[in-house]
């Protein structure tokens, strides 16, 4: 079930901040009324595609900040695992230098509530609790507005890395719509023409 148009699931969890500080009571609610949020999930620490994504978001972090948008990452690994990975240099496969929050979804409830958990727990025929999948997160991304509402979501399978420029484009599109009341057509980017419905029931292009 899509979360678009719905309130983003609330959680409190441990997180690593600034690449070094472990905090136990992190919540996206701190951004409510203040910032937009790009909240993205990745499968596992110490893997191959995942660090390329985390570094790509870090490289674009100033652009997100210019748009008053926080970036927050999350996986089902522990905060200690996150911390260890954050101490490893990039050329060693680590994510040293990442400054945005990295959430530890150790109970897997955050991933489940956001609909990105690969698998679920079920009792098998002998009454034993068993996992039906890998129980890690797909590459989910959620754009959350200042009111805590999910306005865009994207979920990729694990081998498929995301495009950070597209995440920035969606932030631009959301903010443009909020500021101008116009809609953004296919392949719209900041500075291009947008569309506005006329009284005749058709859409006209407007330059912004």
Q: Supply the pLDDT for residue 194.
A: 83
- CA angle at 39 for the pair 35 and 44, rounded to the nearest 5°: 150
Instruction: Show the domain range for 74.
Output: 13-162
User: Per the domain annotation, does 6 fall within a domain?
Assistant: no
Bridge partners (DSSP) of residue 23 are 15
b/e burial code for range 59-84 (CB count within 10 A of at least 16 → b): ebbebbeebebbbbbbbbbebebbbe
104 within a domain of the structure (yes/no)? yes
User: What total number of domains does the chain contain?
Assistant: 2
pTM beyond 0.85, yes or no:
yes
Q: What is the pLDDT of residues 129-139, one digit of tens each?
A: 898 989 999 99
Same domain, 107 and 45: yes
The verdict on 93 and 184 lying in the same domain is: no
Establish if 5 belongs to a structural domain: no
Q: What is the pLDDT of residue 197?
A: 64
Written as one string, the DSSP assignment of 83-123 is HHHHTS-GGGT--TT--S-EEE-TTSHHHHHTT-BS--EEE
Could you list the active site residues? 50
- Mark whether 152 and 181 lie in a shared domain: no
Contact of 137 with 105, CB cutoff 8 Å = yes
Residues 6+ apart with CB under 8 A from 39: 8, 28, 72, 74, 114, 141, 142, 144
Pair (47, 101) in one structural domain: yes
Q: For 33-68, write each residue's pLDDT tens digit.
A: 999 999 999 999 999 999 999 999 999 999 999 999
* 126 shares its domain with 170: no
Q: Is residue 7 one of the residues assigned to a domain?
A: no
Question: Using one digit for the tens of pLDDT, what is the confidence trace for 59-101?
Answer: 999 999 999 999 999 999 999 999 999 999 999 999 999 999 9
One domain, residues 135 and 39: yes
Q: CA-CA distance, 206 to 203, in Å (whole number)? A: 9
For residues 76 and 106, membership in a common domain is answered with yes
Asked if the structure places residue 29 within a domain, the reply is: yes
- 144, 41: one domain: yes
Q: Do both 187 and 148 map to the same domain?
A: no
């Amino acid at each position: 079930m899509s979360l678009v148009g719905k309130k983003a699931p609330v959680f409190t969890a441990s997180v690593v901040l600034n690449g070094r500080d472990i905090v136990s009571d992190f919540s996206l609610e701190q951004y409510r009324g203040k910032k937009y949020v790009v909240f993205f999930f990745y499968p596992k620490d110490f893997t191959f595609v995942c660090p390329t994504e985390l570094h790509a978001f870090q490289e674009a972090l100033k652009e997100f900040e210019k748009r008053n948008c926080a970036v927050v990452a999350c996986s089902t690994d522990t905060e200690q695992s996150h911390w260890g990975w954050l101490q490893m240099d990039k050329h060693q496969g680590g994510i040293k230098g990442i400054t945005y929050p990295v959430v530890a979804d150790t109970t897997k409830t955050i991933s489940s509530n956001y609909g990105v958990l690969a698998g679920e727990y079920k009792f098998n025929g002998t009454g034993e609790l068993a996992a039906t999948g890998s129980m890690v997160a797909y590459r989910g991304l959620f754009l959350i507005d200042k009111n805590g509402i999910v306005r865009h979501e994207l979920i990729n399978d694990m081998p498929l890395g995301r495009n950070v420029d597209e995440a920035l484009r969606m932030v631009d599109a959301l903010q443009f719509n909020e500021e101008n009341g116009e809609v953004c057509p296919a392949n719209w980017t900041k500075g291009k023409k947008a569309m506005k419905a006329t009284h005749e029931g058709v859409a006209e292009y407007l330059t912004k």
